[in-house]
């Protein structure tokens, strides 16, 4: 679950005008959209790399943008969409298209409609403070560059940031300041080369999601990057002004068990990308009936075949580069924390020297290393403060969109059989808690097809992806159902959308022994990235959570991947105290101990309260 970068009419009239196509009743003949698979797909033939197109002159770029605009307009015209996250995504693409065309007033009107669809304070924060200031400055100065534009942008951006309370903007401000060190034109081009060019090379097309992103990145390249230093200056002042107001609610809620407490050992499964088992010598499960993988659980490679490695294997070259990646990650965290360390200074110095091709390779490596680290980081959170926890590894290749072959029904059936074997293992070894910090949806299988040459025809790609997805979904659902005595805890996803509408698996599944978890920050405020929905019953700390990575270093990571094992941690502690608890009873105790946010939307876990309830016999 990882992720990356970044005329006057009344607001009400604007909203009605823009959303009229999606708010009319079905009698107009519009197609009802119940989930993201109901939306149409489009592709755009490419004669060269996407990294060339994003830098092209207007004569080359405008025909491409016109095709994208026509297809986007057809979605508004032909489809009945109620999901607000989808509407925000579509309107965001429209804002980008209008801004790229120099239609600043129209873009500002669209942006006003977009912001009225916000479901949480952090929704579209980049649009609210950056894009809006750019559009206001462009209207005032009739330009998008130059001293007058810069001065106007400074004024509007400062007003926008100063209007935001720190519990809304603090995390974003820190991330922007740190990210600005590495985010320049070469980095943007390198990202496009790493993420978009391979799909174009294999399939000869960009899909509509990639096209929308590319247009936004072109605006970033031409308009935002030239004023980045102004924004960073404003944010440094914002951070300094609000630093004393930051709080951390989690330390007071934490429960830590001592080794001499009367506890029952509890098996905790880490169904993930792998675990560095050497880091948990006293907390690894040692199976008296070892599998083909060994005594700590099960492991499968990307093709779904048995593996004897508890970690994602790295090449010799990747192993040599891994220490540099750790130093880079520490430098970025120090930048977020405002620390001038050797690592943060090195990030500064290196940022201006790398070419776009070197940055492309860095981006590719970062995906590999994130996958390599993920399961170990999750395991450290799940086992924290609980000497009774015994970790069980269930490794498979979680970044399937990076695999070099095309997904097929046969591959999906093979993986479903692996999942059944994993669930059988959990059941027969009495694994009581399993953490799942991954999810997949149909669009991700479409991306995989596109990356491997199967994406030229959008309708056929969608059909093939859905076929594979349904086998995958059924395999995951059946696996969880087949181990009713095990509580499965999963992350909601990092897409800032309704997990059910997105068809995220397993987060969208309704099962009595499964619970989905959203992410809040240290202050208990909803993160900008967390997904939500009727299955997301609990929220936990998922922002800059510290844990181990392979080799023993400690690192802070963010995502619902980090929130989920915090709930698994609590569940394991409850069972260590009372092994008779059922999954349903564990969920009840965690929910009853949780605190509700002021707006009633979020239920934040409170480990000390849930443990107290158990001890009180309630």
384-429 pLDDT per residue, tens:
999 999 999 999 999 988 899 999 999 999 999 999 999 999 999 9
pLDDT band per the 50, 70, 90 thresholds, residue 7: very low
Residue 151 reports pLDDT greater than 70: yes
Nearest alpha-carbon partner for 309 in 376, 366, 370: 376
Mapping DSSP onto H, E and C, the string for 441-463 reads CHHHHHHHHHHCCCCCCHHHHHH
Residue 557, helix vs strand vs coil:
strand
What is the C-alpha to C-alpha distance for residues 90 and 77, in angstroms, rounded to an integer? Answer: 12
Pick the CATH number of 251-291+375-397+406-615 from 3.40.50.10470, 3.30.930.10, 3.40.50.300, 3.40.50.200: 3.40.50.200
How many whole angstroms separate alpha carbon 608 and alpha carbon 235? Answer: 36
Q: 255-292, pLDDT tens digit by residue?
A: 999 999 999 999 999 999 999 999 999 999 999 999 99
Q: Would you call the peptide bond into 506 cis, given omega within 30 degrees of 0 as the criterion?
A: yes
262 contacts: CB under 8 Å, gap ≥ 6: none
**Under 8 Å between Cβ of 523 and 247:** yes
User: pLDDT grade, residue 5 (50/70/90)?
Assistant: very low
Other beta carbons within 10 angstroms of residue 247's beta carbon come to: 10
Contacts 24+ apart (CB under 8 A), 305-309: 307/395, 309/274, 309/395
C-alpha–C-alpha distance, residues 233 and 239, integer Å? 10
What percent of the chain lies above the pLDDT cut of 70? 95
pTM of the model: 0.93
Greater pLDDT, 20 or 231: 231
Return mean pLDDT, the chain: 93
Q: How far apart are the first and last CA of the chain?
A: 36
Judged by DSSP in three states, 510 sits in coil
Distances in Å between the alpha carbon of 467 and those of 46, 233, 441, 445, 533?
27, 50, 12, 10, 25
**Mean pLDDT throughout 111-120?**
96
H/E segment holding residue 191: helix 185-195
Predicted pLDDT of residue 589: 98
Helix (H) / strand (E) element for 32: namely: strand 31-33
Mean pLDDT of 431-439: 98
Q: How far apart are CA 332 and CA 557, in angstroms?
A: 11
Quote the pLDDT of residue 16.
33
Is pLDDT of 244 > 90?
Answer: no
Q: Which residues is 526 bridged to in the sheet?
A: 520
Check pLDDT > 70 for residue 8: no
pLDDT at 28: 59
578, 511 Cβ separation under 8 angstroms = no
Task: Name which residue leads in pLDDT, 274 or 28.
Answer: 274
How many Å apart are CA 462 and CA 109, to the nearest integer?
33
Output the pLDDT for position 304: 94
Domain ranges of the chain: 11-245, 251-291+375-397+406-615
Instruction: Identify the pLDDT of residue 618.
Output: 60
What DSSP element (H or E) covers 399?
Answer: none
User: What Å distances lie between residue 3 and 50, 394, 399, 530, 558, CA to CA?
Assistant: 20, 23, 12, 11, 10
Per-residue pLDDT tens digits for 160-170? 999 999 989 99
| Spatial contact of 520 and 491, defined as CB atoms under 8 Å apart | no
Give the C-alpha separation, 513 to 483, whole Å. Answer: 8
Taking alpha carbons only, the member of 277, 273, 271, 278 closest to residue 313 is: 273
Rounded mean pLDDT, 334-363: 92
Q: What is the pLDDT of residues 497-545, one digit of tens each?
A: 999 999 999 999 999 999 999 999 999 999 999 999 999 999 999 999 9
| pLDDT level of residue 23 (50, 70, 90 thresholds) | very low
């Amino acid at each position: 679950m990882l992720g990356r970068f970044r005329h006057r009419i009344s607001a009400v009239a604007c909203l009605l005008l823009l959303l009229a196509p999606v708010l009319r009743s079905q009698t107009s003949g519009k197609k009802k959209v119940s989930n993201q698979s109901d939306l149409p797909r489009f592709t755009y033939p490419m004669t060269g790399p996407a990294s060339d197109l994003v830098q092209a002159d207007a004569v080359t770029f405008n025909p491409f943008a016109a095709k994208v605009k026509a297809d986007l307009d057809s979605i508004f015209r032909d489809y009945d969409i109620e999901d607000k996250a989808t509407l925000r995504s579509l309107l965001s693409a429209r804002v980008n298209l209008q801004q790229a065309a120099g239609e600043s007033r129209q873009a500002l009107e669209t942006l006003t409609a977009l912001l009225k669809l916000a479901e949480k304070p952090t929704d579209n924060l980049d649009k609210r403070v950056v894009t809006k200031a750019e559009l206001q400055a462009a209207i005032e100065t009739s330009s998008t560059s130059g001293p007058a534009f810069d001065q106007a942008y400074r004024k509007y951006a400062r007003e926008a940031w100063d209007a935001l309370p720190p519990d809304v903007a603090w995390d974003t401000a820190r991330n922007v300041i740190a990210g600005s060190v590495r985010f320049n034109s070469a980095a943007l081009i390198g990202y496009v080369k790493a993420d978009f060019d391979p799909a174009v090379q294999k399939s000869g097309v960009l899909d509509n999601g990639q096209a929308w992103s590319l247009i936004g990145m072109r605006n970033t390249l031409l308009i935002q990057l030239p004023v980045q230093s102004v924004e960073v200056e404003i944010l440094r002042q914002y951070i300094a002004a609000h630093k004393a107001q930051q709080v951390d609610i989690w330390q007071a809620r934490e429960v830590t068990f001592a080794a001499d407490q009367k506890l029952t050992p509890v098996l905790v499964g880490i169904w993930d990308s792998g675990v560095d088992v050497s880091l948990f010598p006293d907390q690894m499960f040692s199976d008296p009936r070892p599998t083909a993988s060994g005594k700590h659980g099960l492991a499968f490679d990307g093709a779904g075949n048995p593996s004897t490695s508890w970690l994602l294997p790295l090449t010799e070259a990747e192993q040599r580069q891994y220490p540099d990646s750790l130093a880079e990650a520490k430098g970025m965290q120090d930048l977020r924390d405002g620390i001038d360390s050797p690592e943060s200074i090195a990030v500064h110095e290196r940022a201006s020297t790398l070419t776009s091709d070197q940055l492309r390779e860095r981006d590719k490596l970062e995906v590999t290393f994130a996958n390599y680290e993920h399961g170990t980081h999750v395991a450290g959170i799940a086992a924290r403060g609980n000497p009774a926890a015994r970790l069980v590894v269930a490794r498979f290749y979680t970044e399937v969109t990076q695999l070099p072959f095309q997904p097929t029904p046969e591959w999906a059936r093979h993986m479903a059989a692996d999942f059944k074997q994993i669930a059988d293992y959990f059941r027969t070894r009495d694994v009581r808690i399993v953490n799942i910090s991954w999810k997949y949806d149909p669009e991700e299988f479409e991306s995989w097809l596109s990356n491997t040459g199967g994406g030229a025809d959008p309708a056929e790609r969608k059909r093939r992806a859905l076929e594979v997805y349904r086998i995958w979904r059924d395999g995951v659902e059946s696996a969880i159902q087949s181990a009713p005595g095990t509580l499965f805890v999963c992350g909601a996803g990092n897409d800032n959308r309704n997990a059910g509408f997105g068809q995220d698996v397993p987060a969208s599944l309704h099962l009595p022994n499964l619970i989905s978890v959203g992410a809040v920050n240290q202050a208990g405020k909803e993160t900008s990235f967390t997904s939500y929905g009727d299955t997301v019953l609990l929220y936990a700390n998922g922002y800059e959570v510290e844990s181990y990575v392979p080799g023993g270093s400690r690192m802070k990571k963010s995502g619902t991947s980090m929130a989920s094992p915090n709930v698994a941690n609590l569940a394991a502690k409850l069972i260590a105290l009372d092994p008779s608890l059922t999954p349903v009873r564990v969920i009840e105790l965690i929910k009853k101990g949780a605190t509700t946010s002021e707006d009633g939307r979020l239920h934040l876990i409170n480990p000390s309260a849930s443990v107290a309830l158990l001890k009180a016999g309630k």
